[in-house]
Structure 1
Amino acid sequence: MPRLLIVKTGDSFADVARDHGDFETLFRRALAAAPADTQVAVLDAPRAAALPALDDIDGLLITGSHAMVSHAEPWSEALKPWLVEARARDIAMLGVCYGHQLMAAAFGGSSDFHPAGRESGTREVTLTEAGRRDPLLGGLPARFHAHLSHAQTVLTAPPGACVLAANAHDANQALRHGPRQWSVQFHPEFTPAVMRAYLAHQREALQDQGEAPERLIADVTATPDATGLLLRFASLAARAREATPQA
């Protein structure tokens, strides 16, 4: 049976967690239609005493966070060599938002505050030519909508990384770091209600950078293409396990 580990890298806003579920709950819901024998566990990385061995893990899902990768908190820095080892073992990985930025930093790129400021709301993302051929993102339309909420970004992709998607704000909306290692800046686990709640929290910051938060809230829509990536990732991790001889 495929074994997925959600690496929780922080907590959502208290009211969002209460009303809609924290990050790991949103991931679990999006994975609810995965094969019945899929095992999903959660590692609360900021509070973990130690990181688990990778021997029995088929896929890692690294969540978003309100922390900042550039702040180099000890728990976050400890994840970097662990992720490098996971990539060396060709364990399937999907990093989301903070996870995207953390994977890029771990693999030799750089992540920091975006010079153009925050990107929030339901935005259009465009696949690159490589993205249209990619086993994970290739099933998406050439242009699709996704929920975004980030102040930091991948400024420099790691050596050897392949850019799979971009938009006017961010040249590195999705990256592939190896045969089965991906990361995306957007939030496939967010629902429209969660996106609206995040925008409500960000009203002042968005106004300060010249955005219209009420218009952004009104423009929130469902993002089934982006959300479908989580199930597709689970399927790819399961197929890889089936192809691996078991002891």
Structure 2
Amino acid sequence: MDNSPPLPLVIVKVGGTFDALRARRGDFEHWVADGLGTQTLPILVIDPRRGDTLPDPVQVAGVVVTGSHAMVSHREPWSETTAAWLAKAVALDTPVLGICYGHQLLAHALGGEAGNHPGGAEVGTVTVSLTEAAATDPLLGGLPAQFPANAVHWQSALRLPEGAVPLAASAHEPVHAFRAGKHAWGVQFHPEFDAEAMRGYIDNLRGELTAMGADPQALRNGVSETGTAASLLGRFARIAEARQGV
């Protein structure tokens, strides 16, 4: 009988939310942990920006990389170190879920390209449409063909790694989700953002949105509940749990 403790589910915190939102709601790692909803795997938060050491991927049950207000294309040292670590995790078939920045970083880490979206920013609740490949995907399989999701990004995964499978798109963003290998996924949208968080982002970005010709109030009015998108965090946790036999 194996009495060893379960391996941790690691949240790699590569960014933080706005101060006003953090004061009310906590930060990205709290939103992600709430969505994962695991009762069996311990949660370990690692912040490479402050010099935290990333654990051996063999010693973790799974990895979630958060969003960030940074840009992958700036290739900051902590980001490049995390990218190399992610490539090792994927090679070892450790379950990985990259969100927004994490999605782009995963693409970059595996030989793809991240950079500014040629059409500019995508902010608000958007309609995500699944590809045919998503129907048999371990993470997205069984979801509706279209569902609302919250997004806020200026950069995108402009080129996917060789062999990666596109899984979702929106009218603005051709790669809202992809899978690399068997158990590594990137999602450009934010499954951890509920309606309050999305409205908070629109409020904090009001100046930038107005400058780019968007209507912040219309975007705010268009925010809706995104339960299907949110379910991806729990689905990912169940995959990590199952691979640990718990």
Match in the other structure for 2:110: 107
Of residues 178, 183, 204, the one that matches 1:201 is 204
Alpha carbons 1:2, 1:238 under 8 Å: kept: no
Amino acid at match of 1:124: T
Amino acid at match of 2:9: L
TM alignment of 1:21-36, pairs within 5 A:
21-32=26-37, 34=38, 36=39
Amino acid at match of 2:14: T
Q: C-alpha distance in 2, partners of 1:63/1:139?
A: 24
Match in the other structure for 1:5: 10
Q: Which runs of 5+ in 1 are unaligned?
A: none
Of residues 196, 211, 216, the one that matches 2:214 is 211
Q: Which runs of 5+ in 2 are unaligned?
A: 1-5
Alpha carbons 2:116, 2:156 under 8 Å: kept: yes
Of residues 123, 126, 129, the one that matches 1:126 is 129
Q: C-alpha distance in 2, partners of 1:50/1:8?
A: 12
Alpha carbons 2:36, 2:236 under 8 Å: kept: no
Of residues 134, 140, 157, the one that matches 2:143 is 140
1:62 is aligned to 2:80: no
TM-score (norm 2): 0.95
1:98 is aligned to 2:101: yes
Match in the other structure for 1:172: 175
The secondary structure found in structure 1 opposite 2:58 is: coil
Match in the other structure for 2:153: 150
Of residues 75, 87, 95, the one that matches 1:84 is 87
Amino acid at match of 1:87: V
CA offset at residue 31 of structure 1?
Answer: 2.1
Match in the other structure for 1:163: 166
TM-score (norm 1): 0.95
Cα RMSD of the aligned pairs, angstroms, is 1.2
Alpha carbons 2:7, 2:59 under 8 Å: kept: no
Counting matched residue pairs gives 241
Match in the other structure for 1:18: 23
Amino acid at match of 1:3: P
1:116 is aligned to 2:126: no
